[in-house]
């Protein structure tokens, strides 16, 4: 999922591009949420006694629980969420999807084994691996969001790409997802851990695209090539090239074509029919709906509708649901506090410099310089 090892790489090379903050700090912003990622999280995490919550007929309802309460939590913190759902997967993803299906089959077999053996810990582990977000889950979530008065968008293709386009156009402030390829798609600001449960006390991580580029000393195209080298969902990567090597190569040769021309192919075999160009094209100009045609509206929730939808067969507690709806109403009635930084623009930032950090960076630079000096070229 996403880009292999990118978050760790950013933390190492461009730590100043990441800011940790409390969910409260994001009040007043509109945020595009990657719905599939979010539903998946809920299906995994929202459980009681290790089993998913279900209706009387055994249909899963964990995702509805998650959508309902986590959305309320966002609204209560003054954040305006808009959920973006995946459309059809791009053709290139079929390889990745096939791999995932394979892994699921393996997990299924392992689960059967574990059930036979009666090993409960193993059973739970593989049960979770079997989780996938189906069309029905998504449809139910949309139905609920509609009742809650929260807008959602169906992306023609990948949700992260749509989110990124909305951030770039200024329609929303940031993309909230765990999937790092939101950055590859050029989302100016990306939030991680926004939809995590409050109990986990996980700070929200804010990634700034511009600062990431600056930290890596790459332009947008070069950054995409780096992500492909690291390993993305759309094509293979070159075996034997890890994150460190990938950064060095990009810094030295600036694009995949030149890298292919220059590296030792016996040591690093190029994958057969490597369609990195198509993958690159997918990142550069993905299939999206024009953000300017999207209208986002947060409207009054339909209390009776929600109660009817969630209680009854789906076995939610009516009192709790009504309380939840009241919270939505309250978040709507209180006028939102404006943000000063939406009026005044940041002119310059002087990042924090810690003496140890400086040293680390210098060391890294020297290393990079050395390795490229051998090949007779300095990184730009």
For another protein, the binding residues (CB under 8 A) are 24-25, 27-28, 30, 80, 296-298, 332-354
CB atoms within 10 A of CB 140: 20
Sequence-ordered strand ranges (E) for 182-322? 189-192, 204-208
Q: What are 80's strand-pairing partners? A: 30
**Comparison of 56 and 346: residue with beta carbon closer to another protein:** 346
**Comparison of 132 and 330: residue with beta carbon closer to another protein:** 330
User: Shortest Cβ distance from residue 356 to another protein (Å)?
Assistant: 11
Query: Which of 156, 155, 103 is CA-nearest to residue 128?
Result: 103
Residue 26's Cβ-side half-sphere holds a number of Cα atoms within 13 Å equal to 32
User: Shortest Cβ distance from residue 147 to another protein (Å)?
Assistant: 19
**Comparison of 345 and 374: residue with beta carbon closer to another protein:** 345
Query: Which of 132, 218, 226 is CA-nearest to residue 180?
Result: 226
User: Shortest Cβ distance from residue 70 to another protein (Å)?
Assistant: 21
CB atoms within 10 A of CB 272: 6
Farthest-apart Cα atoms in the chain, separation: 72
**Comparison of 24 and 320: residue with beta carbon closer to another protein:** 24
**Comparison of 5 and 203: residue with beta carbon closer to another protein:** 203
**Comparison of 83 and 253: residue with beta carbon closer to another protein:** 83
User: Shortest Cβ distance from residue 150 to another protein (Å)?
Assistant: 12
**Comparison of 201 and 352: residue with beta carbon closer to another protein:** 352
User: Shortest Cβ distance from residue 339 to another protein (Å)?
Assistant: 5
d(CA 57, CA 25): 41
d(CA 358, CA 376): 26
User: Shortest Cβ distance from residue 149 to another protein (Å)?
Assistant: 12
User: Nearest 5°: CA angle at 272, between 266 and 274?
Assistant: 110
User: Shortest Cβ distance from residue 310 to another protein (Å)?
Assistant: 25
In this structure, what token pair is assigned to residue 99?
Answer: 């791999």
User: Nearest 5°: CA angle at 97, between 243 and 83?
Assistant: 90
């Amino acid at each position: 999922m996403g880009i292999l090892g990118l978050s760790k790489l950013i933390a190492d090379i461009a730590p100043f591009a990441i800011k940790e903050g409390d969910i409260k700090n994001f009040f007043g912003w509109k945020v595009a949420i990657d719905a599939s990622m979010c539903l998946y999280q809920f299906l995994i995490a929202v459980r009681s006694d290790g089993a998913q919550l279900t209706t009387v007929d055994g249909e899963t309802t964990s995702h509805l629980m998650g959508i309902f309460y986590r959305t309320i939590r966002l609204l209560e913190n003054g954040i305006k969420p808009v959920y973006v759902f995946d459309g059809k997967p791009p053709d290139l993803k079929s390889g990745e999807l096939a791999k995932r299906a394979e892994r699921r089959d393996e997990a299924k077999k392992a689960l059967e084994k574990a059930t036979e053996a009666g090993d409960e810990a193993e059973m739970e582990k593989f049960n979770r691996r079997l989780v996938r977000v189906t069309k029905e889950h998504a449809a139910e979530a949309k139905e609920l969001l509609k009742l809650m008065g929260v807008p959602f968008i169906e992306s023609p293709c990948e949700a992260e790409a749509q989110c990124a386009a909305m951030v770039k156009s200024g329609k929303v402030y940031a993309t909230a997802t765990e999937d790092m390829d939101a950055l590859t798609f050029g989302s100016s600001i990306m939030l991680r851990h926004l939809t995590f449960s409050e109990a986990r006390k996980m700070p929200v991580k804010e990634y700034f695209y511009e600062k990431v580029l600056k930290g890596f000393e790459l332009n947008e195209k070069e950054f995409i090539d780096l992500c492909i080298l690291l390993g993305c969902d759309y094509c293979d990567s070159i075996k034997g090239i890890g994150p460190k090597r990938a950064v060095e190569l990009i810094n030295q040769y600036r694009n995949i074509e030149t890298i292919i021309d220059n590296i030792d192919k016996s040591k690093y075999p190029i994958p057969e029919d490597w369609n990195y160009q198509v993958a690159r094209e997918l990142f550069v100009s993905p299939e999206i709906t024009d953000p300017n045609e999207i209208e986002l509206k947060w409207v009054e929730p339909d209390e009776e509708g929600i109660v009817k939808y969630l209680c009854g067969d789906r076995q939610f507690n009516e009192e709790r649901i009504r309380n939840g709806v009241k919270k939505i109403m309250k978040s709507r009635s209180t006028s939102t506090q404006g943000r000063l930084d939406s009026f005044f623009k940041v002119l310059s930032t002087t990042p924090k410099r810690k003496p140890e950090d400086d040293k680390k960076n210098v060391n890294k630079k020297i290393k990079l310089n050395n390795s490229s000096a051998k090949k007779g070229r300095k990184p730009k």
